[in-house]
């Protein structure tokens, strides 16, 4: 999908991360409720699903990405769409202070799972309406959830608002590979092999994994995400890609 051109005056027009996926919900206004219910229903099995998907490398990759983006002891961190706390857990280890990491997620089920073993404060909320004052955190993270926001610019404006001057945003995502071969391999693995393996360990994960791949395949390209980060006022915007699909977007306030 190509991004629409800037509007008159250079403003970036509104942009959803992907078109409506009408096989799952009928209209854009139903997306947030569908996603929340989907994660509520699979929260208890989510860590097992992730272990299959990441082949055991997830914690190392998240910690490496946070360190490369500059997370250090003393920083106050907001982990948006924290889920069961996979990114927040690594952030707490790097800062050395679990109380300095706040996890936020719209799914009550995910937050309940996170509370079982994650010693950080947690709050229910959405990326588009962060319940934090302006300039209150040093680092905003989001792990593999950008495809689930309603509109990129709104979420990025909120990230910019809550960050202190000089603060950092780190977005970990999975992107559609470029090239026909890469796309075919990703479709076979993420669209077929991973869902089949997940069903063996987490029987209720079938719809989640199908939806996961469909959002990856339909997601806007990296340049569109970078454009909206710049449009929200961020500087030093970059995207680092690993293995053709893992993307780490960083930007500074």
Q: Determine the CATH number of domain 34-45+56-173+217-252.
A: 3.40.50.150
Q: How far is CA 101 from CA 23, 39, 181, 211, in A?
A: 36, 22, 40, 29
C-beta pairs of 127-132 under 8 Å, 24+ apart in sequence: 127/80, 127/81, 127/155, 127/158, 127/159, 128/154, 128/155, 128/158, 129/158, 130/78, 130/80, 130/104, 130/158, 130/159, 130/161, 130/162, 131/104, 132/78, 132/102, 132/162
Q: pTM of the full predicted structure?
A: 0.91
Angle of the 222-231 helix axis to the 152-162 helix axis, nearest 10: 50
**For each of the chain's 253 residues, which pLDDT tens digit applies?**
334 444 444 567 889 999 999 999 999 889 999 999 999 998 988 887 777 766 555 788 999 999 999 999 999 999 999 999 999 999 999 999 999 999 999 999 999 999 998 999 999 999 999 999 999 999 999 999 999 999 999 999 999 999 999 999 999 999 988 888 888 888 888 888 877 877 777 777 778 888 988 999 999 999 999 999 999 999 999 999 988 889 999 999 9
């Amino acid at each position: 999908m190509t991004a629409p051109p800037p509007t008159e005056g250079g403003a970036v027009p509104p942009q959803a991360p992907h078109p409506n996926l009408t096989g799952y919900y009928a209209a854009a206004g139903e997306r947030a409720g569908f996603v929340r219910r989907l994660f509520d229903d699979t929260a208890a099995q989510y860590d097992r699903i992730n272990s299959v998907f990441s082949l055991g490398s997830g914690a190392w990759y998240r910690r490496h990405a946070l360190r490369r983006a500059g997370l250090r002891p003393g920083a106050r961190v907001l982990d948006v769409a924290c889920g069961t706390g996979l990114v927040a857990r690594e952030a707490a280890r790097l800062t050395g202070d679990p109380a300095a990491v706040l996890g936020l997620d719209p799914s009550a089920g995910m937050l309940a799972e996170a509370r079982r073993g994650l010693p950080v404060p947690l709050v229910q909320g959405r990326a588009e309406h962060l319940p934090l004052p302006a300039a209150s955190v040093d680092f905003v993270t989001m792990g593999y959830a950008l495809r689930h926001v309603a509109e990129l610019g709104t979420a990025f404006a909120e990230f910019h608002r809550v960050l202190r001057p000089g603060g950092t945003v780190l977005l970990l995502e999975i992107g559609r590979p470029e090239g026909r071969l890469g796309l075919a391999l990703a479709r076979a693995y993420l669209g077929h092999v991973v869902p089949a393996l997940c069903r063996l360990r987490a029987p209720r994960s079938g719809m989640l994994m199908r939806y996961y791949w469909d959002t990856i395949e339909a997601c806007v390209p990296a340049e569109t995400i970078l454009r909206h980060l710049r449009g929200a006022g961020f500087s030093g915007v970059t995207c680092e890609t690993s293995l053709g699909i893992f993307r780490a977007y960083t930007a500074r306030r």
